[in-house]
Amino acid sequence: MIKIKNVSKYFGAKAALKNINLEIGTGETLAIIGGSGSGKSTLLRLMIGLIKPSEGEIWIGDDEISKMNEKEITRVRLKMGMVFQYSALFDSMTVGDNVAFGLVEHTNLDKEKIREIVREKLKQVGLEGVEDRMPNELSGGMKKRVSLARAIAFGPEIIFYDEPSSGLDPITTNRIDELIISTQKALNVTSIVVTHDMVSACKIANRIAMVYNGDLIAVDTVDKFKKIDDPRVKEFFRVVD
């Protein structure tokens, strides 16, 4: 589903990412971990097409996006859903209008069909009957669920999660983890989760990739990742524990 080939990204003289090679299979859940400033968020932005690599290629399915213009990338982004770190809901819109936003902007569906999809997606994330509420009436966990409902409303093939457990208590974090797992199973989507939470990464992912100072230093299944004898990996486990 996603192939990253020899990708580097420079900001001025600073190398944020150095010669990254990574393949993410269809239907896989990959957790990308790393400390602050490691390059994991830069890698996410590259895959979404928000920034372009300085070197290398990024393939989303059969599309190589690094040379595309904004109109072409927008077409590819219709395959993607995005759950932002702080939900990124429109405060002036109701929950229903937030979830419907992409459908209104990019389809010719009538209002009743859109309302039907909104109700269905909110039910799927465990939020029935909240269409008319405003984002400021919701808890942090509920906002994340609305953000996910918006992400899946368009029927994406790929869902990106940016620090989905950030700012949430352990109980709510566990619920969001379960929701990521159930969404992947129900929709058979490819999921990429950028997180610093090692517990969540081990729970939700098929594989874990670790970025350290711009280098991709480890990629493996969860069980094998836990046994990697690299001091940088082992230190990350100790710190988060």
Average pLDDT (80-95) is 86
Mean pLDDT of 154-158: 91
Q: What is the mean pLDDT of residues 13-19?
A: 94
More confident residue, 168 or 93: 93
Please tell me the predicted confidence (pLDDT) of residue 120. 92
pLDDT score, position 88: 81
Q: Is the pLDDT of residue 119 over 70?
A: yes
Name all domains of the chain by residue range, CATH numbers in brackets. 30-36+74-240 (3.40.50.300)
Say how many Å lie between the first and final Cα of the chain, rounded. 32
What digits encode the pLDDT tens for the residues 189-219? Answer: 999 999 988 889 999 999 999 999 999 999 9
pTM of the model: 0.90
pLDDT in tens, 216-229: 999 999 999 988 99
